Amino acid sequence: MITIKKANEIELLRQGGKILGQIMKRLLGEVKPGATTGHLEEMADFLIGKAGGRPSFKGFREDQNDQSFPTALCTCINDEVVHAPALPARELKSGDIITIDVGMEYPAPKGYYADMAVTVAVGKISREAQKLIKVTKLALARGLEQVRPGNSLNNIGKAVEQYVRRNSNFSVVRDLVGHGVGYALHEDPQIPNYELSHNKKIILKPGMVLAIEPMVNIGDSSIKTGPDGLTILTADGSLSVQFEHTVVVTEQGHEVLTKYE
| pLDDT per residue as tens digits for the range 69-106 | 999 999 999 999 999 999 999 999 999 999 999 999 99
Q: What is the rounded average pLDDT for all residues in the chain?
A: 97
What is the structure's pLDDT at 197?
A: 83
Which pTM does this prediction carry? 0.97
DSSP assignment of 179-239, as one string?
Answer: EE-SSSSSEEEEE-SS--GGGGG-B--TT-EEEE--EEESS-S-EEE-TTSS-EEETT---
Domain ranges of the chain: 7-61+70-256
Name the E strands within 41-186: 54-55, 73-77, 80-82, 97-106, 112-121, 171-172, 178-180
At 36, give phi and psi (nearest 5°).
-120, 155
pLDDT higher than threshold 90 for residue 49: yes
Contacts of 231-236 with C-beta under 8 Å, sequence gap 24+, read 231/76, 231/80, 231/82, 231/83, 231/84, 231/85, 232/80, 232/81, 232/82, 232/83, 232/176, 233/79, 233/80, 233/81, 234/79, 234/81
Q: Is the pLDDT of residue 63 over 90?
A: no
Q: What is the pLDDT of residues 201-217, one digit of tens each?
A: 999 999 999 999 999 99
Confidence of residue 121 (pLDDT cuts 50, 70, 90): very high
Is residue 19 scored above 90 in pLDDT? yes
pLDDT band at 238 (very low <50, low <70, confident <90, very high): very high
CATH topology of domain 7-61+70-256: Creatine Amidinohydrolase (3.90.230)
Give the separation between CA 154 and CA 255, rounded to whole angstroms.
19
Q: What pLDDT, in 10s, does the model give residues 127-170?
A: 999 999 999 999 999 999 999 999 999 999 999 999 999 999 99
Residue 222 pLDDT exceeds 90: yes
Predicted local distance difference test score (pLDDT) of residue 62 = 85
* pLDDT score, position 120: 98
Q: What is the pLDDT of residue 144?
A: 98
